Amino acid sequence: MTKPQTIEPEGEWGALSSLPGNPLMWVLIISELLVFGAFFLGFGVARVLHPDLFRAGQAMLDIRLGGLNTLILVTSGWLAAKAVQARAHGDVAVSRRWAAGAMALGVAFLVVKGVEYADKAAHGIGIETDTFFTLFFLMTGFHAMHVIMGLVLLAIVAWKNSLENMETGAAFWHMVDLIWLILFPIVYLVR
Amino acid sequence: MTIPDANAATSRRLLRAWALLVGLTVISLTVSLGFGQAETGLAAAAISLTASYFKASAVLDHFLDLRRAGKGWRGFFSTMLVVLLGGLMATYVAAG
């Protein structure tokens, strides 16, 4: 005789249950923030060890391109939040349109990043140029891979458009936004 | 509050959060570009990192809707941001 299946009670995730969306996505968000946080602090320590190298490297970055990408990403985050809002009100078609807008800006972010990388390559700068550019390409490249993953996730949740799916996909996208909001000042602005 | 009212209030809140993010980004850029492509200086670094804290908080509270969670979670993320950005400011100062 098989044991009857029980319905999991509310609050199965403990403290995580009070967070909006899928609790596992929050586990991922916290993990990613800790990983990137360690990366960023490593970047800060490397700056202490090689201050002149970092000054020279940062002087070769284009603040305007970094700023443009920040504006693109925060606007994309707003569109993703609107997609969740529309889905919460049962409007699947409108939710998909907002998500498509968020994805279009995500692609624009990658295009700007590509322009920036191409410019560096044209000047003979690569990942092995020096410690600063190794960290620059690793941090921004790792973040760009998360943007690509976020685009895939947004496409999936726009297609399979339940409220929980949309909340979860948008949460990943906001996490990518959040990481950039810390990466941008420490790499481009604080010099 | 009716459902359309609540929807309109959410739209306004999200729009305000977006405007705050854009405004703080423009302030950070203006402060940094004001110093040209050379060093920004301590004050500009502090402004940029403080702006980053408020931007990250806005994304957490409004886009990720963390304001719906308890004070404990908001405190946890806020502490995480303060430790990270404070640590980064400390390394900037130490680099001289």
Inside any domain, residue A23? no
| Domain parsing of chain B, residue ranges | 3-95
Q: From CA A49, how far away is CA A41, in angstroms rounded?
A: 13
Q: Which residue, among B37, B91, B92, B93, would best test binding to A if mutated, counting the most A CBs under 10 Å from its CB?
A: B91
Chain B residue whose CA is closest to A176:
B59
Domain that holds residue A148: 36-189
Inside any domain, residue A42? yes
Q: What is the pTM of this model?
A: 0.91
Question: Would you call A178 exposed, middle or buried from its count of C-beta atoms within 10 A (0-12, 13-18, 19+)?
Answer: buried
- At A79-134, the pLDDT tens digits run 999 999 999 999 999 999 999 999 999 999 999 999 999 999 999 999 999 999 99
* Contact (CB<8Å) B63/A181: no
Q: From CA A87, how far away is CA A165, in angstroms rounded?
A: 10
| Whether pLDDT at A12 is above 50 | yes
Q: How many helices (H) and strands (E) does chain B have?
A: 3, 0
Q: Which CATH number covers residue A88? A: 1.20.120.80
Q: Which residue, among B63, B67, B78, B83, would best test binding to A if mutated, counting the most A CBs under 10 Å from its CB?
A: B63
Inside any domain, residue A168? yes
Inside any domain, residue A17? no
User: How many Å lie between the alpha carbon of B64 and the closest alpha carbon of chain A?
Assistant: 6
Residue A151's contacts (CB-CB under 8 Å, 6 or more residues apart) are: A103, A106, A107
| Whether pLDDT at A144 is above 90 | yes
Q: From CA B10, how far away is CA A175, in angstroms rounded?
A: 20
Inside any domain, residue A31? no
Per-residue pLDDT tens listing for chain B (96 residues): 677 778 889 999 999 999 999 999 999 998 888 755 455 688 888 999 999 999 999 999 999 999 888 889 999 999 999 999 999 999 999 987
| Whether pLDDT at A3 is above 60 | no
Question: Would you call A162 exposed, middle or buried from its count of C-beta atoms within 10 A (0-12, 13-18, 19+)?
Answer: exposed
